[in-house]
Amino acid sequence: MEETGLAYTWVHSLHSYLAYIALAVLILAVANAITGLMGKRIFNMGKDLRLSLFALILCHIQLLVGLLLYFVSPSGLSAIQEFGMGGLTSAARLLAVEHPFINILAIVSITIGWSRHKKFVEGDKKFKSIAIFYGIGLVLILSRIPWGQWFN
């Protein structure tokens, strides 16, 4: 049992600290895409591509760590199994249902934005695809962050 507690603590800490990094890079990628679109810049295969790709990779890693946490956390699947969907408080429902579901949708949106941008040659279409789909992902992520726990 002690190993499970240690694994939970380690995965929870990783998920918490990685969230700051992934969110910061995602915000930078969205801001970069918006400024690139508004400034009618040429899509730079160095900076613009790498920033968007790095955001995609970090978000996917965060998703994998989050899914692992979902199965080892007492606030994840085990909370649903113990209390049922109707027995969860709003805070428990946020962690057990809303946070994972909405963030999976956010990562899907970000992945679609990355895939779509690769189909375009023009910089404005690349920036637009990243701005829209990464932006949707960012809004979804921000809507389901457990803010009460985030700064503790």
User: pLDDT tens for residues 73-99?
Assistant: 887 887 777 777 778 787 787 888 889
pLDDT band at 124 (very low <50, low <70, confident <90, very high): confident
Q: Looking at this protein, which amino acid is placed at residue 111?
A: T
Could you report the per-residue pLDDT of 16-72, keeping only the tens digit for each? Answer: 899 999 999 999 999 999 999 999 999 988 899 999 999 999 999 999 999 999 888
Asked if 75 contacts 92 with a C-beta cutoff of 8 angstroms, the reply is yes
Q: How far is CA 48 from CA 13, 109, 117, 148, in A?
A: 30, 18, 11, 34
pLDDT band at 1 (very low <50, low <70, confident <90, very high): very low
Q: What is the model's pLDDT at position 56?
A: 98
Q: What is the model's pLDDT at position 2?
A: 47
Note the pTM of the prediction, 2 decimals: 0.88
Residue of 12 and 31 predicted with greater confidence: 31
